[in-house]
Structure 1
Amino acid sequence: MDHKLNNTHQKTLTQFFHEEKNTPSIEDDNDLHSPSFHHLSLQLHEKNHLSPNHNLNLNLNLEAAMSPLMPQSPESIWSHSPLWTPSHPSLLYCCISSLHRDGDIYSIAVSGDLVLTGSSSRRVHAWQPLDCHAKGYIHASSGDVRAMVAHAHMLFTSHKDHKIRVWDMRNGKGNFRPRKVTTLPNASHFKSFMSRPITPQYKVTSKTITPQHKDIISCMAYYLVEGILYTGSFDRTVKAWRLNEKKCVDSFIAHGSNVNDMVVNQQNGYLFTCSSDGTVKMWLRVYGENSHALIKVLCFHTYPIYALALSVSPSQKSFLYSGSSDGCINFWVQELSCRYNHAGLLQGHRFAVLCLVTLENLLISGSEDSTIRIWRREKAKANHECLAILEGHRAPVRCLGAFLQKDDKFAMSFLVYSASLDQTFKVWRVKLLPAEMKKSDYGDDDDDMEGENKISEFEKSPVLSPSWVKKKLQCRSLHKFL
Structure 2
Amino acid sequence: MNMGYDGKRTLWSFIDGERESLQSSPHRLSVKSDRQISTSDPDNLLYSPSRSSTGNYPMYPSFLPPPSPDSPWTLSPLQTPSPSLLYHCIASLHRQEGTIYSIAVSKGLVFTGSESSRIRAWRQPDCVERGHVKASCGHVSSILAHGNMLFTSHKDHKVRVWNLFLSENFKAKKIANLPRTSTFLFFPKTCTYQHKERISCMAYYHAEGLLYTGSFDKTVKAWRVLDHRCVDSFLAHEDNINSVVVNQEDGCVFTGSSDGCVKIWRRVYGQSSHTLTMTLKFQMSPVNALALSSSCFLYSGSSDGFINFWEKEKLSYRFNHGGFLQGHRFGVLCLDAIEKLIFSGSEDTTIRIWRREEGSCFHECLAVLDAHRGPVKCLAASLEIGKVVMGFLLYSAGLDQTFKVWRVKVLPDQIIVPLEALNVQRNDNDDEDDNDDIINNNIVISNNNMKAMDYETTPVLSPSWVEKKLQADHPFH
TM-score by length of 2: 0.72
User: 1:332 corresponds to which residue?
Assistant: 310
2:300 to 306, 322, 341: 322
For residue 302 of structure 2, what is the amino acid of its counterpart?
S
Q: State the 1:130 CA deviation.
A: 1.1
For residue 204 of structure 2, what is the amino acid of its counterpart?
Y
For residue 178 of structure 2, what is the amino acid of its counterpart?
L
Per-residue Cα deviation, 1:418-458 (whole angstroms, up to 9, x for no partner): 000000000111111122899xxxxxxxxxxxx99x99999
Q: State the 1:474 CA deviation.
A: 2.6
User: 1:118 corresponds to which residue?
Assistant: 113
Looking at structure 2, the residues matched to 458 and 347 of structure 1 have their Cα atoms a distance apart, in angstroms, of: 21
1:155 to 136, 150, 157: 150
1:128 aligns with 2:123: yes
Q: What SS does structure 2 have at the residue aligned with 1:434?
A: coil
1:296 aligns with 2:291: no
User: 1:446 corresponds to which residue?
Assistant: none
User: 2:8 corresponds to which residue?
Assistant: none
Q: What SS does structure 2 have at the residue aligned with 1:167?
A: strand
Aligned residue runs from structure 1 range 21-100, under 5 A: 85-86=27-28, 87-88=76-77, 90-100=84-94
Per-residue Cα deviation, 1:339-386 (whole angstroms, up to 9, x for no partner): 100001100000000000011110000000000000001113221000
Q: What SS does structure 1 have at the residue aligned with 2:404?
A: strand
Looking at structure 2, the residues matched to 344 and 187 of structure 1 have their Cα atoms a distance apart, in angstroms, of: 46
Looking at structure 2, the residues matched to 288 and 332 of structure 1 have their Cα atoms a distance apart, in angstroms, of: 29
Q: State the 1:144 CA deviation.
A: 0.4
User: 1:18 corresponds to which residue?
Assistant: none
User: 1:248 corresponds to which residue?
Assistant: 230
Q: State the 1:220 CA deviation.
A: 0.1
User: 1:393 corresponds to which residue?
Assistant: 372
Aligned residue runs from structure 1 range 254-333, under 5 A: 254-312=236-294, 318-333=296-311
Looking at structure 2, the residues matched to 288 and 133 of structure 1 have their Cα atoms a distance apart, in angstroms, of: 46
User: 1:16 corresponds to which residue?
Assistant: none
TM-score by length of 1: 0.72
Q: State the 1:193 CA deviation.
A: 11
State whether residues 278 and 305 of structure 1, in contact with CA within 8 Å, keep that contact through their aligned partners in structure 2: yes
1:175 to 156, 164, 169: 169
Q: State the 1:123 CA deviation.
A: 0.5
User: 2:346 corresponds to which residue?
Assistant: 367
1:418 to 396, 401, 420: 396
Identify if the C-alpha distance between structure 1 residues 84 and 352 changes in structure 2 by more than 3 Å, giving closer, same or farther: farther
Looking at structure 1, the residues matched to 472 and 187 of structure 2 have their Cα atoms a distance apart, in angstroms, of: 42
State whether residues 77 and 452 of structure 2, in contact with CA within 8 Å, keep that contact through their aligned partners in structure 1: no
Looking at structure 2, the residues matched to 366 and 146 of structure 1 have their Cα atoms a distance apart, in angstroms, of: 16
Looking at structure 2, the residues matched to 128 and 292 of structure 1 have their Cα atoms a distance apart, in angstroms, of: 38
Identify if the C-alpha distance between structure 1 residues 427 and 337 changes in structure 2 by more than 3 Å, giving closer, same or farther: same
Aligned residue runs from structure 1 range 445-464, under 5 A: 462-464=459-461
Question: Please, which moves more after superposition, 412-421 or 87-96?
Answer: 87-96
Identity of aligned residues (%): 59
Q: State the 1:405 CA deviation.
A: 1.1
Q: State the 1:477 CA deviation.
A: 4.0
Looking at structure 2, the residues matched to 477 and 380 of structure 1 have their Cα atoms a distance apart, in angstroms, of: 42
Q: What SS does structure 1 have at the residue aligned with 2:367?
A: strand
CA RMSD of aligned residues (A): 2.8
Per-residue Cα deviation, 1:384-428 (whole angstroms, up to 9, x for no partner): 00000001101100000112112x120011111000000000011
Q: What SS does structure 1 have at the residue aligned with 2:465?
A: helix
Looking at structure 2, the residues matched to 298 and 458 of structure 1 have their Cα atoms a distance apart, in angstroms, of: 39
Report which of the two has the higher share of strand.
Answer: 2
Looking at structure 1, the residues matched to 394 and 325 of structure 2 have their Cα atoms a distance apart, in angstroms, of: 20
User: 1:9 corresponds to which residue?
Assistant: none
Gaps of 5+ in 1: 1-81, 195-208, 439-450
State whether residues 374 and 387 of structure 1, in contact with CA within 8 Å, keep that contact through their aligned partners in structure 2: yes
Q: State the 1:243 CA deviation.
A: 1.1
State whether residues 155 and 169 of structure 1, in contact with CA within 8 Å, keep that contact through their aligned partners in structure 2: yes
Looking at structure 1, the residues matched to 104 and 169 of structure 2 have their Cα atoms a distance apart, in angstroms, of: 18
Q: State the 1:188 CA deviation.
A: 3.9
Looking at structure 1, the residues matched to 187 and 457 of structure 2 have their Cα atoms a distance apart, in angstroms, of: 54
